[in-house]
Structure formats: structure tokens, C-alpha cells
A and B are shown apart, each in its own frame.
Chain A
Amino acid sequence: MILELAYITAAAIISLILFVTLDIFWKLPMEMGVSGADAVSREIVAAGGDRNGGLMIGNIICSPDASAGILLAACGYWICGILGGITATILVFVGARICADKGFAGISGTIFATLTIWALNVFAGFTPESFIAGMIIAIFLLQGVSISHTSHIIGNIWRKI
């Protein structure tokens, strides 16, 4: 039980670092990739949050970005292994285009997540379902606790980089 919880905690930290890195790499805290992200960002600013962090949260909500890619790659890998990860990559690419998102955050998230899960599964004993739980805990920490605080943290990281 404790070992399983340790795996899930480690998977949550890895997922959090991976998707924040990828989202910042694709400049989601600066660009309005989809039209709804700006509206969500404005409302987060009105509630005491940060504009750049709010834009990134808006982009996460309004189109399949790296966080969605990691979750869906973990689901695909759990069901079908590497083939499931590749299927998730193709479908996330199609899904991002359906949402009128021109970026590549989602597809890069699925590719990196599939490779990470494969490597950690083979060499470190992580199970794919620990990444499903880990990604859900990571997105819960970002959006489910206090959006104004997390948007300030993301905004600060973005401005430092």
C-alpha cells in the first residue's frame, strides 16, 4: 500500500513537471490558442489571479493540451501498451484540430508521456495506472485547490523563464 502510494506520488510529480514544462515550451501562458482561453483568463484575473497563469489554465480547459495528452497516453498505454499510446497521439492530434487549436502541445504531451511511461514501466517498475492517478492528482493540484494561487505560481515561473 505504501509502495503503491509512493509510486502514485512520484508519477504525480513527474506528470506535473512534464506538462508544465511542455505547456511553457509551447508558450501557452502567453498565446491565446483558442478563443475561450482569454475569457477564462479575464475571469481568473478578476478573481485575484495572474493573467499569464490564467491564460495557461484557460488553454488547458479549452483544448486538449499536454496535460490531456499525458492522461490519454497513460490510459492508452494501460489498455494496449505502446500501440495504445500511438493511438492516443493520433486521436489527440485530431481532437486538437476539432477544438480549432493550431498548436502541438497535446501531441507532444502524448509522445513524451508514452516514452516516459514506457521507460519508467520497463526500468523502474512504474505501472501505467499510477500515471493515470498521478496525472489526475497533478491537474487537481493545479485547478482544483486554489486557482488564484496556482495562476500566480505559473505566472512567476513563466516570467522567470
Chain B
Amino acid sequence: MFELVATICATIAIYAALRAVLEKNILLKLPFINVMNFAVAGVVALILPHPLTIIATIAYFVGATLEANAIASTLSRLAPEVIP
């Protein structure tokens, strides 16, 4: 079970990273990077089963979402667009 789960997580992480690299639009890269963060957080918890890993995983994940929020809100202020 462990090997199968780790393989699924790692495959999705690599696929999402490649899609993020190939995507041209910066804001549309963020969903793929988010998928990669999910997969990396899962892999970290899988390969290091220790109580401190929970804190490390959540710190990594919250940091990643905070960065995505900062990038998205900064870009929206730089180039405001009006939605009809």
C-alpha cells in the first residue's frame, strides 16, 4: 500500500510541476503548483512518519498557499481588469 500511494503522489507531483512549467500565464500556473504542493505534502508525510512531520507538513502547505495568495493579489493590483 505504501509504495503504491507514494508512487501515485510522486507521479502527480511531477506531472503538475511539468504542467506548471509549460503554462505561459503566471496566474494559471498557480493551480498546477497547488496540486504539486498537495502531492509534495503527502509525500513528506508518507516518507517521514514522525509527530513533528505533521507540523512540518502543515507549515510547508500554509506557507505555499500564503505565497500563492501574495503572488495573485500583487499581480491583480499591478494589472487591474474590469469584469463585465
Report A's interface with B, CB cutoff 8 A.
1, 4-5, 8, 34-40, 42-47, 51, 57-58, 60-64, 67-68, 71-72, 75-76, 78-80, 84, 87-88, 91-92, 95, 98-100, 127, 129-130, 132-133, 135-137, 139-140, 143-144, 147
**Complex Cα distance A76/B66, Å?**
21
Kindly provide the distance from the CB of B72 to the nearest chain A CB, expressed in whole angstroms.
3
Kindly provide the distance from the CB of B52 to the nearest chain A CB, expressed in whole angstroms.
9
User: Which B residues lie within 8 Å of A57 (CB)?
Assistant: 31
- Given A62-B69, A75-B45, the answer on whether A95 and B54 have CB atoms closer than 8 Å is no
A139-B38 in contact (CB<8A): yes
Report B's interface with A, CB cutoff 8 A.
1-2, 4-5, 8-9, 12, 15-16, 19, 25, 27-28, 30-32, 34-35, 38-39, 41-42, 45-46, 49-51, 53-55, 57-59, 61-62, 65-66, 68-73, 75-76, 81, 83
- Given A4-B4, A130-B5, the answer on whether A45 and B83 have CB atoms closer than 8 Å is yes
Interface of A (DSSP majority class): helix
- Given A37-B72, A60-B34, A72-B57, the answer on whether A144 and B12 have CB atoms closer than 8 Å is yes
Closest A residue to B48 using CB positions = A79
Closest B residue to A63 using CB positions = B65
Closest B residue to A143 using CB positions = B31
A91-B55 in contact (CB<8A): yes
- Given A39-B76, A47-B25, the answer on whether A79 and B66 have CB atoms closer than 8 Å is no
